[in-house]
A and B are shown apart, each in its own frame.
Chain A
């Protein structure tokens, strides 16, 4: 009887050694690239522009998108609305600027973030309703309102990552984070 248990235990061990070959449990369903894309409905846009979709939009088109989808909450020109102001001064912020006046032009370090966030989460109550062209357009409008771009060229996957944000000059990696992760570099 004892012996039987011994062999049973041994074969269970052998089995788990097999399952755990290469330290894996063999749990979970593999996905192909197409299936991953189906799941990835709000792809992240990296600061270097990787992930930006085709399409484009101008400041004028953006003004229309903004008036319909954004002005109700963020104010008719990006300030004075019930929620977060998107346009403010000074450029960039200083240590005396009240934090309610932190906005896109004076606090945001990367223009790509504006595309990522708008497509990801805005309009607040109905996220995901804008087309890529509309997102590019409203991004162009907000950057223009903030005095960051002159509006002469449309925003698209080539132009947006090149936009320099004034607050990028203020941004640095936290020194204690740098010490612990020496390899980290901010984009």
Chain B
């Protein structure tokens, strides 16, 4: 429903009653007892580092209770409890392979070596002396959406567990191209092998072209030092590409002419396709969107709702997001806010008056290259059902006549039963 239609409805008085229902306290003329108490006493004093309200303590990352280790595996950003487009650093999703190292910045060094004219070592202070760049980019784990591989679908799914392995931050750092120029690339250099300072000494292969294009050696996240879970003090930010290539706790970059084929680009982060082939180097994150309100396990009432959600694409800007209120039969354009930035999350919104009838709502994102999200059937025509990554099919939410919202994905006829993320660890896994 667009704004004009809504206003028409409101003037007819259809939705006006619903607005009242949204604030029952006022409707009944009751003012809560405690509401004026804070005006009679002094509040808390100044403090050096801010904390959120004690009443917000349940806004936390989701950690599966089934994990066998909390040193590897992933936890999810609580998408349906957040607003706007920036993920608070403390709620950014996590994915580690050997725990979070405690790196002392005084001991921190980054070494660039291999096929370079001058192997160089940088301190953190050195990195900060270079010209800096600040950009807002999403980081998404390739395993985001892994619950979509489950068949039949998980009826306890929330927006968090559906797509919470994405987060969006303002990153500040030095372009990697500047550092590579400083070291001087040798003829024949094609690849970089970045290495982390964690217990997994995590490595991947990154083609030089991407590094010279837009990769950042980042030292700040949302205005302050990067959080330890996100790579303190220095990480790679590889815009639009799967999170696992954005090496955290970056300590070494080896310039080579071949890729390393490390464990995390062969055993993990490769994709099994419907034809049984395994695809390597599936780097770019295809477009995705998720309705965060109303979403799984929430309960709504009749009347006005601003449908809200998040959309992003590793191919560039989000061009438009569409909403379906009838299970995918018809689609309407949602408002985007703010004006979409390339490779950043955008918030979408849609004004809706729910009439109390059971329905299925969906969102689908389109990016500037014309890519969009597949249906479940379209997705599985391309990817194998036992694949673990890059699930980006449309997520549906079913709203029952009682207002309860549950996973609206379909059981796929003829497809084998699968547990999806349940029963396995790793990226997006829940065991």
Which residues of A pack against B, CB within 8 Å?
23-25, 27-33, 35-36, 39-40, 42, 44-48, 50, 82-84, 93-100, 102, 104, 107-110, 112-113, 116-117, 120-121, 124-125, 127, 167, 170-177, 181, 183-184, 186-187
Contacts and interface: CB of A to CB of B under 8 A. Distances in A.
Contact of B424 (A100, A177, A181): A100
Contact of B260 (A44, A104, A107, A174): A44
A40 B261 CA distance: 18
Contacts, number: 183
Contacts of A96: 386, 416
B61 interface: no
Given A23-B181, A83-B68, A170 B278 contact: yes
Given A23-B181, A117-B263, A121-B97, A127 B121 contact: no
Given A42-B201, A127-B201, A187 B259 contact: yes
A187 B256 CA distance: 13
A28 B121 contact: yes
Interface string B148-161: 00000000000000
Contact of B386 (A82, A98, A187): A98
B2 interface: no
A183 B209 CA distance: 11
A79 B422 CA distance: 19
Contacts of A25: 129-130, 178, 182
A116 B72 CA distance: 19
Contacts of A100: 423-424
Contacts of A83: 68-69, 425
A117 B267 CA distance: 11
B280 A124 contact: no
B299 interface: no
A70 B190 CA distance: 36
Contacts of A102: 267
B384 interface: yes
B111 A116 contact: no
B272 interface: yes
Given A31-B120, A177-B281, A99 B262 contact: no
Given A44-B203, A121-B200, 4 more contacts: A31-B119, A107-B278, A171-B266, A172-B278
Contact of A120 (B111, B126, B200): B200
B271 A46 contact: no
Contact of B199 (A33, A50, A93, A121): A121
Given A31-B120, A46-B256, A83-B69, A172 B126 contact: no
A99 B260 CA distance: 24
Nearest to A186: B280
A95 B384 contact: yes
Interface in B234-269: 251-252, 254, 256, 258-263, 266-267
A23 B178 CA distance: 9
A138 to B, nearest CB: 15
B211 to A, nearest CB: 12
B120 to A, nearest CB: 4
A74 B274 CA distance: 30
Q: Is the interface of B mostly helix, strand, loop or mixed?
A: loop
A73 to B, nearest CB: 9
Given A25-B182, A83-B68, A172-B277, A113 B262 contact: yes
Contacts of B94: none
B112 to A, nearest CB: 8
Contacts of B254: 40, 44
A26 to B, nearest CB: 8
Contact of A116 (B98, B109, B262, B284): B262
Considering residues A27, A45, A104, which has the most beta carbons from chain B within 10 angstroms of its beta carbon? A27
B251 to A, nearest CB: 8
B207 interface: yes
B105 interface: no
Contact of B388 (A27, A36, A99, A173): A99
B181 A48 contact: no
5 contacts: A39-B111, A95-B272, A121-B199, A124-B71, A187-B259
Given A23-B181, A28-B182, A113-B266, A172 B279 contact: yes
A174 B282 contact: yes
A113 B183 CA distance: 28
The 10 closest A-B pairs by CB, nearest first: A117-B263, A28-B120, A95-B384, A174-B279, A121-B200, A31-B119, A95-B276, A47-B261, A42-B201, A174-B282
